[in-house]
Amino acid sequence: MRLLLGPGNPYDLTSGELEELADLLRDESPELRVEISRPSERAYGVTFWEVLNIWADAAEAGGGTGLAIAAFWRAAKWAQGRWQRDREQSTQTPRPRSVTLFGPNGEALKSVLIEGPEGTPVEDSEGRTELVRPPVRDE
């Protein structure tokens, strides 16, 4: 199964941070092919949230949904760790995080929000309803 990781904003997560997460997911599930996509800057849109999107490969999503969801929860735990590290290194409250898993047709399968006071991931009960296509993968 292939997963594609991408930040909502190209400046929110460094290539090193995304590689760290990709390596973690590969180590925990060797059958995953985890790739990274860095979107190019498109506009001046600003969001207070730090967004991590995960797309399950369209051709392989059917049999691997459970594997994709397990990887999603691991990514949420990783994002929580980053939130807590940011809180410890600053006197300011860290920006909240959002992690969303998208299915083969761009539909949101799972989404969590990570914010204060402890940065505990909370499933997004409203969920994201818009279809989000994966970006073109970096070569």
Interval 34-86: pLDDT, tens: 999 876 665 555 667 889 999 988 555 455 678 899 999 999 999 999 988 88
pLDDT value at residue 95: 87
Measured CA to CA, the distance from residue 86 to residue 34 in angstroms comes to 25
CATH number of the domain to which 111 belongs: 3.30.429
Mean pLDDT of 109-137: 74
Which domain range does residue 20 map to?
A: 2-123
What is the 3-state composition of the chain as percent helix, strand, coil, each rounded to the nearest 5?
30, 25, 45
Residue 128 lies in a domain: no
Provide the domain count of the chain: 1
Residue 90 lies in a domain: yes
Residue 53 in contact with residue 3, Cβ under 8 Å?
no
Q: How far apart are the first and last CA of the chain?
A: 19
pLDDT value at residue 44: 55
Residue 48 lies in a domain: yes
Alpha helices in the chain (DSSP H): 15-28, 61-89
pTM above 0.75? yes
Q: What three-state secondary structure class fits 108?
A: strand
* Of 116 and 128, the one with more pLDDT: 116
What would you report as the CA-atom Rg of the chain, rounded to the nearest whole angstrom? 14
Residue 99 in contact with residue 75, Cβ under 8 Å?
yes
Q: In the block, which residue shows the tokens 């995960």? A: 54
Pairing of strands 97-102, 108-115: antiparallel
